[in-house]
Amino acid sequence: MQLRDLLLAVLVMVIWGFNFSMIKLGVSEVNPLVVTAARFALAAIPLVLFISKPDTKWLYVVSYGVVFGVGVWGMASWSIVAGLSSGMSSVLLTTNVILDMLVGVVVLKESLTRRKLMGGLLATIAVVLSIANTNGNVTVLGVILILIAAVSWVVMGVILKASKTQQPFAFGVWGMLVAPLPLITLALFIHGTEVFTDSWNHWSWSTGAAVMFQAYPTTLFGYWVWNKLLLKYPLSVVSPLNLLVPLSALLSGYLIYDENLSASQLISCGLYLVGIALIVIAPKKTKAQSFDGEMAKQN
User: What pLDDT does residue 297 have?
Assistant: 46
CA 188 to chain centre: 25
User: What pLDDT does residue 213 have?
Assistant: 95
Q: Which of 155, 17, 147 is nearest to 82 (CA)?
A: 147
User: What pLDDT does residue 294 have?
Assistant: 46
User: What pLDDT does residue 290 have?
Assistant: 47
User: What pLDDT does residue 242 have?
Assistant: 77
CA dihedral 71, 72, 77, 80 (to 10 degrees): 100
State how far the Cα of 63 lies from the Cα of 155, in Å rounded to an integer: 10
CB 22 within 8 A of CB 218: yes
Whether pTM exceeds 0.95: no
The residues, ordered by sequence, that sit 6+ positions from 133 with a Cβ below 8 Å of its Cβ are: 262, 264, 265, 268
User: What pLDDT does residue 112 have?
Assistant: 76
Q: Do you find a cis peptide bond into 182, omega within 30 degrees of 0? A: no
CB 165 within 8 A of CB 171: yes
State how far the Cα of 43 lies from the Cα of 24, in Å rounded to an integer: 19
User: What pLDDT does residue 58 have?
Assistant: 93
Along the 299 residues of the chain, how does pLDDT read in single tens digits?
788 888 888 899 899 999 999 999 999 899 999 999 999 999 998 889 889 988 889 999 999 999 999 999 999 999 999 989 888 898 888 888 778 778 777 776 777 788 888 888 888 888 888 777 776 678 889 999 999 999 998 888 888 888 888 888 888 899 999 999 999 999 999 999 999 999 999 999 999 999 999 999 998 898 888 877 876 776 666 777 777 888 888 888 888 888 877 777 778 888 888 888 887 776 665 545 544 454 444 44
Euclidean distance between the first and final Cα of the chain, in Å? 30
Q: What is the 3-state secondary structure (H, E, C) of 248-270?
A: HHHHHHHHHHCCCCCHHHHHHHH
State how far the Cα of 246 lies from the Cα of 17, in Å rounded to an integer: 6
Q: Which of 260, 272, 276, 250 is nearest to 134 (CA)?
A: 260
User: What pLDDT does residue 135 have?
Assistant: 67
State how far the Cα of 43 lies from the Cα of 221, in Å rounded to an integer: 10
